Amino acid sequence: MRVTGTMIAGLALAALAGCGGSVRQIPMKDAAGVEKVVDLPAGTLFGGASQQQAGTIAQMIADTNAVTVARSATTVAAAGRIETGVQQVQADVRELQAGEKRDEESLRRLEAEQKRIGEDVRQAADAVGKVDAAAGKIATTVARTDASVKQLVEGQARLEETAKETLDTAKKTWDTTRMIIEAFEKVSRRQGTGEVTVFFATGSSRVARGGLQERRLVEFADWLGRESRGRKIMFVSVGSASATGPQGLNEKLAKKRSEALLGVVDQYLVNVPHEYVKLYGTGDLYSPKGVGRAEHERYQHARLIAFFEKGQEPPLPAAP
């Protein structure tokens, strides 16, 4: 509540008016704001005081009023500054609250980002685990593959060794067979009995009836029957195949071709003594590799070598 100068003066006059009859002491402030105690005598409106005292009192009242007004203005200014300060504080508080709200939002975003990063880390860990598991399986597979490759290499080495041994045996067998055939050829040439070669169709071991090959075989048998003059005719039959199929199949085919000649010979030498000394199937040993069809057909045949009298055969080498 503000106190104006008029109110103070009124109060002062009322105090003076009510002081008649006794001396009163009133605290007041001078123009410098220093408090003083003034004695008011009893008596008149001014307590029986002199005109000088009344003037002094009035001046003191005026000074007190001026000080009060100045202090009131100061108080008002201070209150304004306080209010401004309070408003600034309130603004600062609001700004602080807004900053706290922003900080809370940033914190929530940070927590969400940390959660997402944690999930990414977990997924990455799972992926690494799967990769490690796959790597383990791959390592196991590689180890098994290495073991299998080692076994295959060892097996291949054994197969190569077996093939080499088989080839060596076949070569020895063929060398022996070739020596035997050459020995019979020498006896045949010396006696003049000779030989005949009968050709077959591809993959066949049958002598076609009434065909050229059968006629050639029959003519050879008839000639031997006339030249034998009671002597036993000895035969060596050697079958062959071309190198156009599997080796095992060619060996079987060559053996069947050597046997196919016997039926025809037996039919046309039914009354002539004869005997089969050896039957050979040389497979595709004679046939060259990597040649044309016409060249292969030259090796699809069977040779029939003849000589007279058992006991005339040459000494044969031992079988390998």
Q: What are the residue ranges spanned by the domains of the chain?
A: 5-90, 192-308
**What tokens does 255 get?**
């053996």
Burial group, residue 278, by CB count within 10 angstroms (0-12, 13-18, 19+) = middle
Q: Kindly report, residue by residue over 216-229, the tens digit of the pLDDT.
A: 999 999 999 999 98
Q: Kindly report, residue by residue over 228-270, the tens digit of the pLDDT.
A: 988 999 999 999 888 777 888 888 999 999 999 998 999 999 9
* Structural contact between residues 207 and 261, judged by C-beta atoms closer than 8 angstroms: yes
Burial group, residue 303, by CB count within 10 angstroms (0-12, 13-18, 19+) = buried
**What tokens does 69 get?**
């007004």
To the nearest whole number, what is the mean pLDDT of the chain?
77
Distant-in-sequence contacts of 20-23, Cβ < 8 A, 24+ apart? 20/44, 20/45, 20/47, 23/47
Q: Kindly report, residue by residue over 23-78, the tens digit of the pLDDT.
A: 556 666 665 666 766 665 554 444 455 666 667 667 767 776 776 777 778 878 88
The band of 207, judged by pLDDT with boundaries at 50, 70 and 90, is very high
Q: What is the pTM of this model?
A: 0.46
Higher pLDDT, 304 or 33: 304
- Listed in sequence order, the residues at least 6 apart from 189 whose beta carbon sits closer than 8 Å to its beta carbon are none
pLDDT at 25 (0 to 100): 66
Angle between helices 212-228 and 247-268 (to 10 degrees): 50
| pLDDT above 80 for 318 | no
**What tokens does 57 get?**
């009192």
List, in sequence order, every residue forming a beta bridge with 198; answer none if it has no partner.
Answer: 302
CATH of domain 192-308: 3.30.1330.60
Q: Kindly report, residue by residue over 156-199, the tens digit of the pLDDT.
A: 788 677 546 645 555 565 677 778 788 888 988 898 899 999 99
**What are the helix and strand counts (H, E) for the chain?**
5, 6
Label residue 29 left, alpha or beta by phi (over 0 means left) and psi (-120 to 50 means alpha): beta
Q: Kindly report, residue by residue over 93-151, the tens digit of the pLDDT.
A: 888 888 888 888 888 888 888 888 888 878 888 887 887 888 888 888 888 888 888 88
Q: What are phi and psi of 270, to 5 degrees?
A: -60, -30
Q: How far apart are CA 22 and CA 275, in angstroms?
A: 192
Q: How far apart are CA 198 and CA 257, in angstroms?
A: 9
* Structural contact between residues 274 and 173, judged by C-beta atoms closer than 8 angstroms: no
Q: How far apart are CA 71 and CA 308, in angstroms?
A: 170
- Listed in sequence order, the residues at least 6 apart from 49 whose beta carbon sits closer than 8 Å to its beta carbon are 40, 41, 43, 57
Helix (H) or strand (E) holding 122: helix 51-191
Burial group, residue 290, by CB count within 10 angstroms (0-12, 13-18, 19+) = exposed
pLDDT at 32 (0 to 100): 64
